[in-house]
């Protein structure tokens, strides 16, 4: 093949999908009394080493993921394109290690600037003042003319899945505190729109596929909580993928359109008993347990047909059912080592009984932050996981590999190799999700429109040029 030829799009099995996860981390400087330090200054010090090698605080890494400082001085990590859920989980967890590795350098620079403090990074979704930041899920879907109708059909599922995939949180109100399924639910303002910060929708409809736009669109789900436990991430992404697979195969979904989505998502979030009902457009009232059970039954009905009954699908369905049953029976023990909200609920309950305090005690809020701390040593989630109190999906070796190595079965492989070689050669380069370019070269920009393609002669040509640079 002539290295300038753009290869045709690959024929891809309908079940094969590109996944991505974007995580905004909470950034917290714990310092004694002294001069005030803005989050921007802390973020600047944290990213100093990144800017040193990348000449920017917005970079692509050799593992093909993207690392940057987002709106609001949040460190953000976006995984590379993954076409398996295990690759995705490993890449997502690698992101925690990558941002954590910046802390020591950041603290050192702060000390040099006269601030003695400890930097914490939290994989959570709210700060103490009630500001929210997100965890965005990306599912590549086949383009269709009726995308808005297609996407809105997913809303009843997204509103109710928090009873299994929520991160759990203590909600403080003027009349007291209670434990909720999802910290994110209260920050959703509408079902769908193309905005994110001005008006937070559950699905962002900005048409930005980062791929061949004639073939693909991106389902950009921004209603989810950041999740710590690997099985929760598996269920969050896996159950959503299964529902999307049926929708893409044009399977008629059960009629579950909600009358008022914003009311429904809040009512579900704040009712740990699972007995609160949501109003459907047809006037019926169902619980979130009822709604989720409809989706589980729907997927089960297509096992062996549209849905290939793999071990992973069985695992997702099993956890999904056990999660729904836990809420229905109010016995959380069957999922208390797998689902974030249940793991955290158990922790909060035990600590509260130890302290004999009300739920709005600041020490419990402190416990919540410790749970979401990404530090492998300090983070409470990792202390639990190390003791075998949280189940695993991938191994530490998988995660460590994903810190430096891109997923091998997608476009990420090409980008990762390019970034790694260009850095090694000391050449300036430009890279984004779909472009690769060596600065000052003959000017050829390689456009990678097919996220499923992991081999490309044009990229081999670029790597060759870097080799002989």
Partner 1 sequence: MAQLNAQGQPYEDDAPEPDAPVAAAQASTDAIDDLLAEIDGSLQVNAEQFVRSFVQKGGE
- For the annotated catalytic residues, the residue numbers are 70
Note whether 73 binds partner 1 by CB under 8 A.
yes
Stretch that binds partner 1, among 7-15, 90-98, 381-389, 391-399 (CB under 8 A): 381-389
Is 363 a binding residue for partner 1 by CB under 8 A? The answer is yes
Number of residues in the chain: 469
Residue 29 binds to partner 1 (criterion: CB under 8 A) = yes
Question: Among 109, 315, 328, 346, which residue sits at the site for partner 1 (rule: CB under 8 A)?
Answer: 346
Q: Pattern 107-136, binding to partner 1, x per CB under 8 A?
A: -------------x-x----xxx-xxxx-x
> Can residue 11 be called a binding residue for partner 1 (CB under 8 A)?
no
Q: In this complex, which beta carbon is closest to partner 1, that of residue 187 or of residue 413? A: 187
Extract the tokens encoding 364. Answer: 């419990």
Of 132 and 257, which has the nearer Cβ to partner 1? 132
**According to the binding rule CB under 8 A, does residue 226 interact with partner 1?**
no
Longest dimension (CA), the chain: 72
Per-residue three-class SS string for 373-408: ECCCCCCHHHHHHHCCCCCCCCCHHHHHHHHHCCCC
- On whether the CB atoms of residues 165 and 224 are closer than 8 A, the answer is yes
- The footprint of partner 1 on this chain (CB under 8 A) covers a number of residues equal to 46
The answer to whether 289 and 309 are in contact (CB under 8 A) is no
Interaction between residue 24 and partner 1 (CB under 8 A): yes
Per the DSSP assignment, residues forming a β-bridge with 23 are: 77, 135
Q: Distance between CA 21 and CA 68 in Å, rounded?
A: 14
CA dihedral 292, 293, 296, 297 (to 10 degrees): -140
Three-state DSSP class for residue 169: strand
Pairing of strands 190-193, 19-24: unpaired
Segment contacting partner 1 by CB under 8 A, of 86-94, 211-219, 344-352, 438-446: 344-352
E strand or H helix that includes residue 103: helix 103-112
Q: Does 387 bind partner 1 (CB under 8 A)?
A: yes
Three-class SS state of 64: coil
Binding test (CB under 8 A) with partner 1, winner from 84, 152, 196, 441? 196
Quickly list H helices, 283-361.
288-301, 311-329, 340-355
The stretch among 92-100, 243-251, 378-386, 427-435 that binds partner 1 (CB under 8 A) is 378-386
Q: Which range in 108-116, 194-202, 211-219, 262-270 contacts partner 1 by CB under 8 A?
A: 194-202
Which residue from 12, 27, 247, 436 is in contact with partner 1, where contact means CB under 8 A?
27
Structure tokens at 2: 């002539």
Shortest CB 2 distance to partner 1, Å: 42
Three-state DSSP class for residue 263: helix
Using CB under 8 A as the criterion, which residues of the chain lie in contact with partner 1 when the complex forms? 24, 26-30, 39, 70-74, 76, 120, 122, 127-129, 131-134, 136, 196-197, 200, 222, 333, 337, 346-347, 350-351, 354, 362-363, 365-367, 369-370, 380, 383-384, 387, 389
């Amino acid at each position: 093949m002539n290295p300038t030829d753009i290869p045709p799009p690959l024929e891809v099995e309908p079940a094969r999908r590109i996944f991505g996860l974007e995580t905004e981390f909470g950034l917290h400087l714990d310092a004694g009394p002294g001069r005030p330090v803005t989050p921007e200054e802390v973020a600047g010090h944290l990213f100093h080493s990144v800017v040193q090698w990348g000449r920017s605080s917005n970079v692509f890494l050799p593992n093909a993921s993207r690392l940057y400082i987002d709106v609001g001085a949040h460190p953000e990590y976006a995984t590379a394109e993954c076409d398996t859920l295990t690759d995705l989980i490993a890449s997502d967890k690698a992101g925690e290690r990558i941002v954590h590795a910046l802390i020591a350098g950041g603290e050192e620079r702060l000390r040099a600037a006269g601030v003695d403090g400890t930097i914490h990074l939290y994989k959570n979704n709210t700060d103490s003042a009630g500001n929210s930041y997100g965890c965005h899920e990306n599912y590549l879907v086949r383009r269709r003319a009726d995308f808005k109708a297609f996407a809105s059909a997913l809303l009843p599922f997204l509103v109710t899945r928090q009873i299994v995939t929520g991160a759990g949180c203590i909600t403080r109100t003027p009349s007291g505190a209670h434990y909720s399924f999802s910290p994110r639910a209260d920050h959703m303002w509408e079902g769908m729109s193309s905005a994110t910060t001005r008006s937070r929708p559950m699905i962002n409809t900005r048409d930005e596929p980062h791929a061949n736009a004639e073939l693909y669109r991106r389902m950009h789900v921004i209603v989810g909580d950041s999740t710590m436990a690997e099985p929760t991430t598996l269920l969050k992404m896996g159950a959503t993928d299964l529902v999307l697979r049926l929708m893409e195969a044009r399977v008629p979904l059960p009629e579950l359109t909600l009358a008022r989505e914003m009311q429904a998502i809040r009512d579900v979030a704040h009712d740990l008993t699972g007995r609160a009902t949501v109003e459907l457009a047809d006037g019926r009232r169902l619980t979130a347990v009822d709604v989720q059970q409809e989706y589980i039954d729907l997927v089960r009905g297509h096992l062996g047909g549209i849905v290939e009954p793999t071990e992973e699908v069985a695992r997702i369905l099993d956890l999904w059912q056990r999660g729904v049953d836990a809420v229905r029976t109010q016995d959380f023990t069957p999922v208390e080592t797998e689902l974030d909200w249940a793991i955290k609920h158990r922790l909060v309950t035990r600590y509260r009984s130890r302290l004999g305090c009300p739920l709005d005690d600041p020490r419990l809020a402190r416990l919540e932050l410790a749970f979401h701390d990404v530090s492998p040593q300090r983070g409470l989630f990792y202390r639990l996981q190390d003791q075998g109190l949280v189940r695993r999906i991938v191994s530490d070796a998988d995660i460590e590999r994903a810190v430096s190595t891109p997923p091998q079965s997608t476009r990420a492989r090409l980008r990762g190799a390019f970034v790694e070689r260009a850095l090694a050669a000391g050449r300036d380069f430009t890279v984004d999700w779909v472009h690769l370019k060596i600065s000052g070269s003959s000017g050829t920009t390689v456009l990678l429109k097919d996220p499923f393609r992991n081999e490309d002669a044009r990229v081999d040509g670029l790597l060759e040029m870097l080799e002989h640079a």
